[in-house]
A and B are shown apart, each in its own frame.
Chain A
Amino acid sequence: MAVAAKDLTKDYKYGFNDGDEFVFRSERGLSPEVVADISRRKGEPSWMLEFRLKALEHFRQRPMPTWGADLSGIDFDDIYYYVRPAEEQGRTWDEVPEGIKRTFDRLGIPDAERKFLAGVSAQYESEVVYHSIRADLESQGVLFADCDTGLREHPEIFRKYFGTVIPPNDNKFAALNSAVWSGGSFVYVPRGVRVEIPLQAYFRINIESMGQFERTLIIAEEGSFVHYIEGCTAPTYSKDSLHSAVVEIIAMPHAHVRYTTIQNWSNNVYNLVTKRAIAKEHAVVEWIDGNLGSKVTMKYPSIYLMGEGAHGEVLSVAFAGDGQHQDAGAKVIHVAPNTTSTIVSKSVSKGTGRTSYRGHLKVYPKAYGVRSSVRCDALLLDEKARSDTYPYMDVEAEDVQIGHEASVSKVGDEQLFYLQSRGISEAEATAMIVNGFIEPFVKELPMEYALELNRLITLQMEGSVG
């Protein structure tokens, strides 16, 4: 994909890179040797190597998905599958290499660290380089580490759950991730513990054609609560990058897990992510998922409501600018009776941007008393912008209540005129309308993320009108 770097940098404010400061980088392309090398360098147990190699086999056998977005631009042989930026994981900020610090500075990481004294797990390329855990989290028995550390230091818990929600043969990209995964977060919240401060991680791709395959595993024991926040930005390069993450969540009975994502990949990144949660009896799982940027995103956070009375929510926003395709949505599977779910999807398409809502709602025969509501709203900013809705519903039970509403609207002349007639410029009026449109999403975000998102939207609107 020959997109000039300067063209990308023009409308991407995080379009900087501070040079490659990596220590080890695997050869380009994928083979059993590359996979074995990754596993060896990480000093993994043999079961993980076997897991990886099996996953690689699935990946090779599996055809590329032909539904959804156009993925023909991905060249799997032209990607680095493992890059390790620094020798050791940083324990304190002082130990983090200068070049990496500069990158984080520009992303506001130190601020987040000051504000949130809980663990900041900032992933730079494939390893977590900086990681701190607040003392009282530790004293509560909460585990918050990068996933490699989780495997190394908490093997019993890790092995019990890893790959159980999303098995390697789930889909082609889950298989790829399973073969070459590195980094990501491991979170374990013991029974009855409420983690009051959101756990945050910042992810970042920084080497050309480097795939980032982080793996996140969250286990919330009975009656516990945790809010995990993932924010992503990537610098821009002239070659396409691939980001293919896997996130697994297990919410035990009466547990409550909220997972918030704001992704702002540069517009050459293929962002193909599998996210799935299992909710046991009366557990609550919420995916708050914001997708800006990237070239192509395919992401459908899922919730399997396995226990009676479990509740799932997916609240998502997708923003597609010129040449971008956001194929996003949600999947909720009602396996148990009296389970409830809410899906709210908001998408904004600008220029030649394209958004798709792809939803799957399934109710199994024994799941009586299910209630679910699905609402998707699309906002188009330009004549060429496009939005499609693909809501699949598969209801096999009696006594269910399912509501579905969808709307497509354009930024109306009447709304613009109304705001302008009060003295507000057209560009600002457009940003207000867009920010208003995604307000139901934004108000669920912590303050600084809400402000950042509003700012990003306003930046995106600059020059789009008038």
Chain B
Amino acid sequence: MSDSVGESARLEIRALEVQVEGKQILSGIDLSIPRGEVHALMGPNGAGKTSLGYAVMGHPKYEVTGGDVLWKGRSLLGMLPEARARMGLFLSLQYPTAIPGVTTVNFLRAALKGQGKELPARQFLDLIRKEVAALKMDPSFMSRYINDNFSGGEKKRMEIVQLAVLRPEMAILDETDSGLDVDALRTVADGVNRVRRDGMGILIITHYQRILDYVVPDRVHVMAAGRVVASGGGELVDRIEKDGYDPILREAGVEQGVAAVSAGSPG
């Protein structure tokens, strides 16, 4: 990363309100994540965590009805997802989509080209080979159709391969830990820590604390019912692990189960 980690290299979510098909999903989210920091976003199912990721990345189904999302001081609203990616943003999906007939290599080549970061063929293939190996995946995944007939865990690893190859400046990782066994979780966490060392900003969306044992966050936020109800440090993670979400939600005056839609894929 050539430019400095200045005040502007920051993802600013300001009073963000989002609707899906007329239903209010997010009701005034404020978050500020500078590049170089890792934030965790926790919360019960249906809190709106996944929706926040989609809204920041510009999924057309998520309509911003209030507030703003800024990256490096520039509003992202109205921008196509590809434009946001080209500005250095990345979203790792909870349920990555299969594109039958498109190999991992061709997918990544098109992505790098789309972002104006094409590499010479040899260097490009070496890079993918290295990252696939780092995620403890068989080299055959390079020529397999992306996410097609991958297991849940393989899809998650492939998201981290993409993260490492595309090297965004700010990444949102949506439940990258879900469905992974302990060894796989370790491998994925190692991958995240490697890119973290390069100064990437990361927002880890998770339901459980366990990935945060490996990727220790600088800040922790708790979401419920479309709002951020608590922010703090590692102590919040410990508290959730011990007592669950209920006490925090009660303190914030949020009743469970009021969230408009359940978290997960928008499909």
Binding site for B on A (CB under 8 A): 412-415, 417-426, 428, 432-433, 435-440
Contacts and interface: CB of A to CB of B under 8 A. Distances in A.
Interface in B135-173: 145, 162, 166
A422 B266 contact: no
Nearest to B82: A420
22 contacts: A414-B97, A414-B267, A415-B97, A418-B99, A419-B107, A421-B81, A421-B91, A422-B82, A422-B111, A422-B115, A422-B162, A423-B82, A423-B166, A424-B110, A424-B114, A426-B80, A426-B82, A432-B99, A432-B102, A432-B106, A433-B102, A436-B145
A438 B145 CA distance: 13
Contacts of B86: 423
A466 to B, nearest CB: 9
Contacts of A417: 57, 59-60, 81, 97
Nearest to B265: A414
Q: Is the interface of A mostly helix, strand, loop or mixed?
A: helix
A413 B58 CA distance: 12
B171 to A, nearest CB: 11
B181 to A, nearest CB: 25
A418 B93 CA distance: 8
Contacts of A422: 82, 85, 107, 110-111, 114-115, 162, 166
B114 A421 contact: no
B100 A432 contact: no
Give the interface centre of A420, A423, A426, A439 by most chain B CB atoms within 10 Å: A423
Nearest to B61: A413
B114 A425 contact: yes
A404 B90 CA distance: 40
A418 B85 CA distance: 11
A432 B115 CA distance: 16
Contacts of B99: 415, 418-419, 432-433, 436
Contacts of A419: 99, 107, 110-111
Contacts of B61: 413
A254 to B, nearest CB: 33
Interface in B85-115: 85-86, 90-91, 93, 96-97, 99-102, 106-107, 110-112, 114-115
Nearest to A443: B101
Contacts of A412: 97, 267
Nearest to B266: A414
Nearest to B112: A423
Contacts of A437: 100-101
Contacts of A433: 99, 102
